[in-house]
Amino acid sequence: MHQQHTSMKVCTDACLFGAWVAHSETNKNATSILDIGTGTGILSLMLAQKTAATCTITALEIEPQAAEEANYNFILSPWNERLHVRHESLQDYTSQFSQTRFDLIISNPPFFEGDLKSPNENKNTAAHSTQLPWATLVESVGSLLNDHGHFFVIVPTLRAYTMQKLATSNGLFLATEILIYHNSKHLPFRSFLQFSKTKPNQITREKMVIKDAENQYQSSFVELLKDYYLFL
């Protein structure tokens, strides 16, 4: 992965999130995927590796250097014909393609709201929700997702309930929540959320621990990421 010019680098929790989505049954049946805020393009590439050859992936990125780098990563991949980067905001895309519908939408959105900002504006765009408030994100997802589609998003655990409330107000129902722990001694730091337009009979709630007491990767972590990491 090339990420020299991208503000938000590839990180463990994002890779774990991508692997989790890629292994889901809904991903295997998808023919159209939208990646909102693709950054380096890592999530799109992980999904492309596991989806059918007929599945197309549209990756949105507002930051110009990140969009260029994602496009470069896509061109170098074996799935380049199915991966398409669009350098534009979600708001602009939604207004242009209001009739477009996706089977699956995935996002690792800006997390921070009202927090101290960096002097680097590109980092602020990637990390802070100023240009993409969560309310706007979820509203667009609600209009772009088809009736049987699924929306996957990664958020800080402390803000998971906020995302759930916004989703519900836009006709998206929580189907699955996975709490992610660095290890068993700490509180969860990330939540992986799956929403659909159909209300599930019950919500699946699970937890995943990255490392054990000996600071070794847990078998569940290794199983999810073994197809993506060269050394694990």
d(CA 143, CA 107): 15
Kindly report the backbone phi and psi dihedral angles of residue 132, in degrees, each rounded to the nearest multiple of 5, phi listed first: -140, 80
The helix (H) or strand (E) run that includes residue 46 is helix 42-50
pTM over 0.95: no
What pLDDT is attached to residue 28? 83
Report pLDDT digits (tens) over 155-213: 999 999 999 999 999 999 999 999 999 998 999 999 999 999 999 999 999 999 999 98
Q: Look up residue 25 and give its amino acid.
A: E
d(CA 127, CA 212): 29
Of 138, 116, 135, 139, residue with least CA distance to 127:
116
Classify each residue of 139-160 as buried b or exposed e, where b means 16 or more C-beta atoms within 10 Å of its C-beta: bbbbebbeeebbbbbbbebeeb
In this model, does residue 4 exceed pLDDT 90?
Answer: no
Strand-pairing partners, residue 174, are 195
Which tens digit of pLDDT belongs to each residue from 99-145?
999 999 999 998 756 544 444 444 444 443 457 899 999 999 999 99
Q: Map out the domains of the chain with their CATH numbers.
A: 12-225 (3.40.50.150)
